[in-house]
């Protein structure tokens, strides 16, 4: 319509058949293009419902009915509310053996990228209460380390990257509500489990100096603190 | 004089401690259990072994029998009555007593399918969406806290428990065992039960 106006009020272009034909074909093309895109999106970038639901239920057998995590013989981490980019990076790290875990290698290596995206999106949407159970006497010290860091040990505040509410962002994981035994074990064993391919350093390298510099009681404190965050 | 007095006192203490253990095994409440579960609590079909079982798991089961939330047929037939008048403190004492007894493998599974059972237990079957039991139950099927020891339990008992979850019994125990059990085939259940029955 604007072009018609620009041509001047007295333009009669809009009454001509060619104008209407042009407009109709534009609309038709745009509609086809839009529908085509949506259809492609459904076919290519989302996995079929059946397999997503089955796989999700499988994940939840270990990670909990609401993906809240579970303190089994080996602590199984919370996935609820986790950053999708972080989750997908970890799944790839398991597959490529950059992160050592025999069970998760088996789980991950048969997942397609589409399925990984669908699973990660499902987990992001969950928000159960934290499992809890960590010693409460550690929380105060943990909060201090989380918010202020340990300048004398050259350790930045966790909040600086993980966010003031520990929900993470992008490839930086959510820590809020994560299991206490899982966080303590992860920080303690960082170099043994993550970044296992020295020729292919990954984002785990960022945490390596932090994990190494924290003392046992500092690890316990910060793990207890984040475990209660909602 | 003093060394002799010390020796007498030590001997008296040791004697009384031994008497306490012996009295506990003869304790009427314990004997009510060992009638069915075996003198050394290693089980006597259909009653499972209790020796070396996780304390919290035992305590939870006794509570679940009392509230009837564990409702499989044998539990209903035997354990509901057995726990009807069991006080909470007695239940705790019994659970603690049995948890400290040495366990012994039943060794009554099918040796031919142990390898398959080990694979399912230690690695899972991701393509069938079957989890690796090891993650919760431990590398030696010893369990932890409310998660039971499976190692050494009788083949028939383990098989029956897995089948019962798939049939809908004991649903109140909550996820994930019912969901896991529903995905297992008969052959897989037999293999798991066999593998576990041989674990020390």
Q: Tell me: the pLDDT tens digits for B108-121?
A: 999 999 999 999 99
Confidence at residue B28, expressed as pLDDT on a 0 to 100 scale: 80
Confidence at residue A183, expressed as pLDDT on a 0 to 100 scale: 98
Query: How far, in Å, CA of A57 to CA of A67, rounded?
Result: 10
Query: Angle formed by the axes of helices B88-99 and B28-37, to 10°?
Result: 60
C-alpha torsion sign, points A77, A81, A82, A87:
positive
Check CB contact under 8 Å for B136 and A73.
yes
Q: What is the CATH number of the domain that holds B146?
A: 1.10.760.10
Smallest CA–CA distance from A56 into chain B, residue: B129
Considering only the beta carbons, identify the residue of B135, B139, B180 that sits closest to A76.
Answer: B135
Considering only the beta carbons, identify the residue of B127, B131, B138 that sits closest to A62.
Answer: B131
Tokens of B129: 């969406």
Shared domain for B124 and B187, answered yes or no, is yes
Q: What is the DSSP letter of A99?
A: S
Q: Are A168 and A124 in contact (CB under 8 A)?
A: no
Smallest CA–CA distance from B176 into chain A, residue: A61
Check CB contact under 8 Å for A57 and B179.
yes
Confidence at residue A31, expressed as pLDDT on a 0 to 100 scale: 53
Residue B171: inside a domain: yes
Confidence at residue B23, expressed as pLDDT on a 0 to 100 scale: 40
Shared domain for B34 and B83, answered yes or no, is yes
Confidence at residue A201, expressed as pLDDT on a 0 to 100 scale: 87
Considering only the beta carbons, identify the residue of A58, A65, A73 that sits closest to B147.
Answer: A73
CB contacts < 8 Å between A and B, how many? 61
Q: How far is CA A190 from CA A22, A150, A186, B33, in A?
A: 64, 19, 6, 47
Q: Among residues 108-147 of chain B, which lie with CB inside 8 Å of chain A?
A: 123-124, 126-127, 129-132, 134-139, 142-145, 147
Residue B21: inside a domain: no
Check CB contact under 8 Å for A62 and B123.
no
Shared domain for B92 and B116, answered yes or no, is no
Query: How far, in Å, CA of A173 to CA of A194, rounded?
Result: 14
Mapped onto helix, strand or coil, the DSSP state of residue B11 is helix
Percent of chain A with pLDDT over 70: 79
- Tell which phi-psi region holds residue B145, choosing left (phi > 0), alpha (psi between -120 and 50) or beta: left
Confidence at residue A14, expressed as pLDDT on a 0 to 100 scale: 54
**Residue A172: strand pairing partners:** A169
Report the DSSP pairing between strands A75-76 and A70-71. Answer: antiparallel
pLDDT at A216 over 90: yes
Check CB contact under 8 Å for A76 and B137.
no
**How close is the nearest chain B Cα to the Cα of A116, in Å?**
14
Considering only the beta carbons, identify the residue of A60, A62, A109 that sits closest to B135.
Answer: A62
Residue B59: inside a domain: yes
Shared domain for B122 and B186, answered yes or no, is yes
Domain boundary at B70, B99, B128, which? B99
Confidence at residue B172, expressed as pLDDT on a 0 to 100 scale: 82
CB atoms within 10 A of CB A130: 20
Report yes or no: B173 at the A interface, CB cutoff 8 Å. no
Residue B42: inside a domain: yes
Residue B137: inside a domain: yes
Query: How far, in Å, CA of A165 to CA of A179, rounded?
Result: 16
Q: Of A56-70, B16-30, B97-111, B180-194, which range is least confident?
A: B16-30
Cα angle: B5, vertex B8, B11; to 5 degrees? 150
Smallest CA–CA distance from A51 into chain B, residue: B129
Confidence at residue A29, expressed as pLDDT on a 0 to 100 scale: 55
C-alpha torsion sign, points B31, B33, B37, B41:
negative
Mapped onto helix, strand or coil, the DSSP state of residue A27 is helix
Considering only the beta carbons, identify the residue of A57, A73, A106 that sits closest to B123.
Answer: A106
Confidence at residue A30, expressed as pLDDT on a 0 to 100 scale: 55
Average pLDDT estimate for A202-214: 93
Query: How far, in Å, CA of B114 to CA of B12, rounded?
Result: 50
**How close is the nearest chain A Cα to the Cα of B7, in Å?**
43
Task: State the DSSP string of B17-63.
Answer: HHHHHHHHHH-HHHHHHHHHH-TTSS-BTTBPP-TT--HHHHHHHHH
The string of pLDDT tens digits covering residues A144-170 is 999 999 999 999 999 999 999 999 999
How confident is the prediction for chain A on average, in pLDDT? Answer: 87
Shared domain for B179 and B117, answered yes or no, is yes
3-state secondary structure B112-175: HHHHHHHHHHHHCEHHHCECCCHHHHCCCCCCECCECCCCCCCHHHHHHHHHHHHHCCCHHHCC
Shared domain for B78 and B122, answered yes or no, is no
Shared domain for B148 and B79, answered yes or no, is no
The residue range of the domain holding B166 is 111-197
Confidence at residue B115, expressed as pLDDT on a 0 to 100 scale: 98
Considering only the beta carbons, identify the residue of B124, B138, B142 that sits closest to A106.
Answer: B124
Confidence at residue A38, expressed as pLDDT on a 0 to 100 scale: 45
Shared domain for B128 and B170, answered yes or no, is yes
Residue B87: inside a domain: yes
Query: How far, in Å, CA of A79 to CA of B101, rounded?
Result: 38
The string of pLDDT tens digits covering residues A66-108 is 999 999 999 999 999 999 999 999 999 999 999 999 999 999 9
Shared domain for B193 and B123, answered yes or no, is yes
Check CB contact under 8 Å for A73 and B135.
yes
Selected residue of A53, A55, A61, A115 to mutate for chain B interface (largest B Cβ count, 10 A): A61
Q: Of A198-202, B16-20, B137-141, which range is least confident?
A: B16-20
Percent of chain B with pLDDT over 90: 81
pLDDT at B102 over 90: yes
Check CB contact under 8 Å for B136 and A76.
yes
Tokens of B130: 């079957």
pLDDT at A185 over 70: yes
The total domain count for chain B is: 2
Report residue A162 CA to chain centroid gap.
12
The string of pLDDT tens digits covering residues B130-178 is 999 999 999 999 999 999 999 999 999 999 999 999 999 999 887 999 9
User: In chain A, which residues have their Cβ closer than 8 Å to the Cβ of B142?
Assistant: 73
Confidence at residue B27, expressed as pLDDT on a 0 to 100 scale: 78
Considering only the beta carbons, identify the residue of A71, A103, A109 that sits closest to B124.
Answer: A103
Shared domain for B66 and B132, answered yes or no, is no
Q: How far is CA B182 from CA A72, B24, B136, B178, in A?
A: 21, 41, 18, 6
Report yes or no: B176 at the A interface, CB cutoff 8 Å. yes
Domain boundary at B50, B72, B99, which? B99
The string of pLDDT tens digits covering residues B36-77 is 999 999 999 999 999 999 999 999 999 999 999 999 999 999
Shared domain for B177 and B118, answered yes or no, is yes
Confidence at residue A16, expressed as pLDDT on a 0 to 100 scale: 60
Q: Of A14-18, A175-179, B184-188, which range is least confident?
A: A14-18
Report yes or no: B81 at the A interface, CB cutoff 8 Å. no
The string of pLDDT tens digits covering residues A23-68 is 655 555 555 544 444 444 444 456 776 689 999 999 999 999 999 9
Average pLDDT estimate for B99-126: 97
Domain boundary at B99, B120, B138, which? B99
**Residue B47: strand pairing partners:** B44
Residue B145: inside a domain: yes
Shared domain for B71 and B135, answered yes or no, is no
Query: How far, in Å, CA of A143 to CA of A176, rounded?
Result: 12
Query: How far, in Å, CA of B18 to CA of B127, rounded?
Result: 54
pLDDT at A15 over 60: no
User: In chain B, which residues have their Cβ closer than 8 Å to the Cβ of A73?
Assistant: 134-139, 142-144, 147
């Amino acid at each position: 319509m604007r072009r018609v106006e620009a041509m001047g009020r007295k333009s009669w272009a809009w009454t001509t058949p060619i104008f209407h034909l042009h407009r109709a074909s534009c609309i038709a093309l745009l509609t086809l293009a839009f529908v085509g895109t949506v259809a492609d999106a459904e076919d290519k970038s989302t996995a079929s419902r059946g397999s997503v639901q089955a796989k999700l239920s499988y994940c939840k057998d270990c990670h909990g009915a609401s993906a809240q995590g579970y303190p089994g013989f080996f602590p199984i981490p919370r996935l609820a509310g986790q950053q999708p980019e972080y989750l997908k990076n970890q799944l790839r790290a398991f597959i490529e053996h950059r992160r050592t875990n025999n069970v998760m290698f088996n789980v991950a290596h048969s997942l397609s990228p589409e399925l990984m995206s669908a699973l990660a999106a499902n987990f992001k949407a969950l928000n159960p209460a934290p499992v809890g159970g960590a010693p409460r006497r550690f929380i105060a010290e943990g909060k201090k380390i989380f918010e202020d860091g340990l300048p004398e040990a050259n350790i930045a505040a966790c909040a600086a990257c993980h966010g003031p509410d520990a929900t993470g962002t992008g490839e930086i994981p959510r820590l809020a509500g994560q299991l206490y035994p899982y966080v303590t074990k992860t920080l303690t064993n960082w170099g043994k489990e993550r970044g296992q391919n020295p020729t292919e350093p990954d984002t785990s390298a960022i945490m390596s100096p932090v994990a190494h510099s924290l003392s046992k009681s500092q690890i316990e404190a910060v793990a207890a603190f984040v475990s209660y965050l909602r | 004089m003093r060394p002799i007095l010390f020796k007498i006192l030590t001997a008296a203490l040791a004697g009384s401690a031994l008497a306490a253990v012996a009295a506990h095994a003869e304790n009427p409440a314990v004997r009510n259990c060992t009638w069915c579960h075996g003198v050394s609590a290693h089980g006597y079909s259909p009653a499972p072994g209790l020796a070396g079982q996780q304390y919290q798991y035992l305590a939870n089961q006794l509570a679940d029998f009392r509230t009837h939330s564990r409702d499989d047929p044998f539990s209903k037939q035997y354990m509901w009555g057995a726990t009807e008048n069991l006080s909470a403190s007695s239940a705790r004492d019994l659970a603690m007593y049995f948890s400290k007894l040495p366990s012994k493998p039943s060794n009554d599974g099918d040796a031919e399918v142990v390898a398959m059972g080990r694979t399912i237990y230690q690695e899972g079957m991701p393509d069938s969406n079957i989890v690796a039991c090891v993650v919760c139950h431990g590398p030696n099927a010893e369990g932890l806290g409310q998660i039971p020891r499976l190692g050494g339990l009788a083949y028939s008992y383990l098989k029956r428990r897995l089948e019962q979850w798939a049939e809908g019994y004991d649903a109140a125990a909550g996820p994930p065992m019912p969901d896991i059990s529903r995905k297992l085939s008969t052959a897989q259940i037999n293999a798991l039960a066999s593998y576990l029955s041989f674990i020390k």
